Structure 1
Amino acid sequence: MGNREDLLAGAKRCLYEKGYGRTTARDIASAAGVSLAAIGYHYGSKDALLVQAMIEAMGEWGDAIEKALADLGDAATPEERFVAAWDRVLESFVVHRELWAVQLEISTKVVSSPELTEAFAATQREARLGLSAIFQGLEEVPDTPEELARGAFYQSLLVGLAVQWFAAPDQAPDGRELLRGLRLVGTTVLGAPAS
């Protein structure tokens, strides 16, 4: 690996170990085994590097979830797939606890950081399309308003579930509760019968 890749790997380690707010440029340089100046040369700033590390880490989580959801089987009904998918997401919070802790920490900093706001805004479209594909069990989906809306729904549900799980894991809804809620909302909003 070169300095750029070492910095990215070191930044990810620091994010997991220290979080976003407590990670210094010196921490990253030390974890990467490179000079402090390398951060500015390769990424422009510590924050830009940490954002890139977070985006890459979320991509790795997406890959792990995609693999976990791939074996749900074609025989499952859409409802069974929905329940199983969200149960696997809950399991991923345990396995990827540090990643989600950092994600939630960074979410609170977006409000006061134009650099973070810009970085995360730039990834929204790709994230939504990716989530739409993952939860449908597809490799990819077309960049359409429908898929973006579907992805935005999944993204909202995902972040909301993560917050609830971190606040009180034993009270976070499981896949069945989420399906029941979805049906109830469908009844209220769309007038569809609840089943």
Structure 2
Amino acid sequence: MGHREDLLEGAKRCLLEKGYARTTARDIVAASGANLASIGYHYGSKDALMRQAIIASSEEWGASVAQVPAGGGAEAGGTDPLERFAAVWDAVLQRISTEREFIAAQVEVLGLLPRDAALREAIGEVLPEGGEGLVAVFEGVPDTEVDPESARIVGSFYQALLTGLMVQSLLTPDAMPSGRDLATALRRVTAGEVLEKK
């Protein structure tokens, strides 16, 4: 790897270890083995590098989630859409529960968006692609089969659920719903089914 790639990897490590706002240029240099001047040369500023680090980390996380569960077979809940919905959410929730540093960094960045126009713009540029990817995962199809309107509407729904679950995992990790719980809630909302009392 060259200095540019080393810096990005170092920034991604710092993101997990120190968080977005607390990471300094010197932290990135220490984590990457590159020199301080190379941040400006390759990225323009520490802030630009950190924006790239949060986007790259999110894309990598999304790509890994897209691999589990694969396809539309029994491991993904068969052909029933709500079964698949539950199975995919179980896989996502498992990742959320075991990758708390990544989740904390994501939630931290959400809080910075209102006051950081450059960060807001950078994340806004990749948000549609994230929605498209989520639709593809939940429907068990390639990204190329997701039309723009589905990515906008359905993708926004999945992104809203994902963001809320990330926040909830930091606030009340012991009270997280399961994929089946989410499917039950969706069934009630769409069909008006009343939950059975336990």
- Distance apart, 1:194 and its partner CA: 6.9
When normalised by structure 2's length, the TM-score is 0.90
Structure 1 vs Structure 2: percent identity of aligned residues? 47
Match of 2:142 in 1: 139
SS in 1 for 2:35: coil
Q: Distance in 1 between matches of 2:18 and 2:141?
A: 35
Q: One-letter code of the match for 2:149?
A: P
Q: Is the 8 A contact 1:20 1:50 kept in 2?
A: yes
Q: Distance in 2 between matches of 1:169 and 1:95?
A: 11
Is the aligned partner of 1:162 residue 2:171?
A: no
Q: RMSD over aligned Cα, in angstroms?
A: 1.7
Match of 2:11 in 1: 11
1:93-132 to structure 2, matched below 5 A, reads: 93-132=96-135
- Distance apart, 1:61 and its partner CA: 1.0
Deviant stretches of 4+, over 3 Å: none
Q: One-letter code of the match for 1:105?
A: E
Cα distance change of structure 1 residues 28 and 135 upon mapping to structure 2, 3 Å threshold: same
Q: One-letter code of the match for 2:123?
A: F
Q: Distance in 2 between matches of 1:138 and 1:47?
A: 36
Match of 1:45 in 2: 45
Please list the CA deviations of residues 37-95 of structure 1 after superposition, one character each: whole Å capped at 9, or x if unmatched.
Answer: 11111111111111111111111111211111216626342221111111111100123
1:34-113 to structure 2, matched below 5 A, reads: 34-70=34-70, 73=73, 75-113=78-116
Match of 1:179 in 2: 183
Unaligned runs of 5+ in 1: none
Q: Is the 8 A contact 2:11 2:28 kept in 1?
A: yes
Q: Is the 8 A contact 1:132 1:148 kept in 2?
A: no
When normalised by structure 1's length, the TM-score is 0.91
